[in-house]
Amino acid sequence: MKTIGVIGAGQMGAGIAQVSAQAGYRVLLSDMSVELVEKAKVGIGKLLARNVAKGKMLPEEVDTVLGRITPAADHSDFAPCDLIIEAASERESTKRAIFESVGKHVGPETLLATNTSSIPITRLAQSVPDPARFMGVHFFNPVPVMGLIELIRGLATVDATVDAIEIYGRSLGKNIIHADDAPGFIVNRILMPMINEACFALGEGVANIADIDMGCRIGLNHPMGPLTLADFIGLDTCLDICRVLHEGTGDQKFRPAPLLIKYVEAGWLGKKTGRGFYDWTGPEPVPTR
C-alpha cells in the first residue's frame, strides 16, 4: 500500500491521517469542506511540533509529514487510494452515504474500511461495491498515542483483505486484535458498561464526579477516570455506543443511564462542547457536580 484515503478530519480521522503520514504513506484527507481538512492539518502540525520540542522528531520532518497529507475536495480524488478508511461521525446513514458515493470512484483492488466504534460491519457492507474488500478498522483515541487497532471482519470479508489491513496496521506500530462483528466488538463492549455505570452512580448520588474518577484512576490504576474519559470520547458517542449494545444484544444490562441521555439532550457533549461532566472552558477541567 502507498496511498491511504481518510474520510472525516475530526479527532479520529486526523489522527489516522497523522500516523499514516508518519509511517510514510501518502494520505488523501477529506471532510465536508477543504477548510476543515486544513484546520485538521494545523492541529496535526501542532502535535508534530510538540514532538520536535521533546526531541522526538527533527524539525524538517514536520514539513515532510504534513506534505504527505493532501486535502481531497471530492470523493473522485480517492481513485488512486489502496485503502480508504471512513472516520466520519458515528451515524449509520452518514457512513452509508459516504460509502455509496466513494464506492463509485474506486477500482477493483481498493480496500474500504470503517473506523466505526460499534455499527455492525456486515450491515455497513451493504453500501460498498464489494463486501469482500471491506472491514472494520477501529482505532483508539488519541490515535497517535494509543497502540491498538481492533480489526472486525464482516460476513463477506475475505482473508486477503484482513491480511493487507493487518500489515498496514502493524506498519503504523500498532498492536492488532481481531473481534467478531458483535455489538461493541471487544473494547467498547467492556469499556462502555463501565462509563455507563459511572453515569448511573453519579445520577443515583453514590458519589461526586471527582471521587468516581479518582476511584478508578487511583483505585484501579486507570490513566483517567470514566467520566473524564467519557468527556474525551464525547457523551453523544458514548450514548450511541450504549444504544447499539442495548439494541444489538437486547440485554437490559446495557441500557443507557438516564443521566447520560439527559446530558446529551442538553448538548453537554464533553470536551468538544466545553461542558460535559467537567467544565472544560478554563485552564483545568472543573467537575460540575
What is the spatial distance between Cα 281 and Cα 88, in angstroms, rounded to a whole number? Answer: 25
Whether 93 is catalytic is no
First to last CA, the chain: 49
Q: Choosing from 30, 117, 118, 127, which is the catalytic residue?
A: 117
Query: Which of these, 222, 136, 227, lies nearest to 185 by C-alpha position?
Result: 136
Distance CA 238, CA 228 (A): 12
* Active-site residue, selected from the candidate residues 75, 115, 127, 138: 138
Is 253 assigned a ligand-binding role in the annotation? Answer: no
Cell numbers linked to 152: 472486525
Our answer to whether residue 150 is catalytic in this structure is: yes
The residues binding ligand 3HC (CB under 6 A) are: 47, 50, 54, 117, 140-142, 144-146, 188, 191, 223-224, 229, 233, 237
**Beta carbon nearer to ligand 3HC, 223 or 282:** 223
Closest-approach residue to ligand 3HC (CB): 117
**Cβ 190 to ligand 3HC, closest distance in Å?**
10
Cα–Cα distances (Å) from 54 to 23, 64, 67, in that order, read 19, 18, 21
Q: Are 70 and 29 in contact (CB under 8 A)?
A: yes
β-partners of residue 139 are: 149
Catalytic (active site) residue 117: yes
> Is 141 annotated as ligand-binding?
yes
Catalytic residue among 86, 188, 196, 246: 188
The answer to whether 272 is annotated as binding is yes
Is 265 annotated in the active site? no
In the block, residue with C-alpha cell 514532538: 51
Residues that are catalytic: 117, 138, 150, 188
Known binding residues are 8-13, 31, 90, 95, 117, 141, 272
Known binding residues for NAD(+) are 8-13, 31, 90, 95, 117, 141, 272
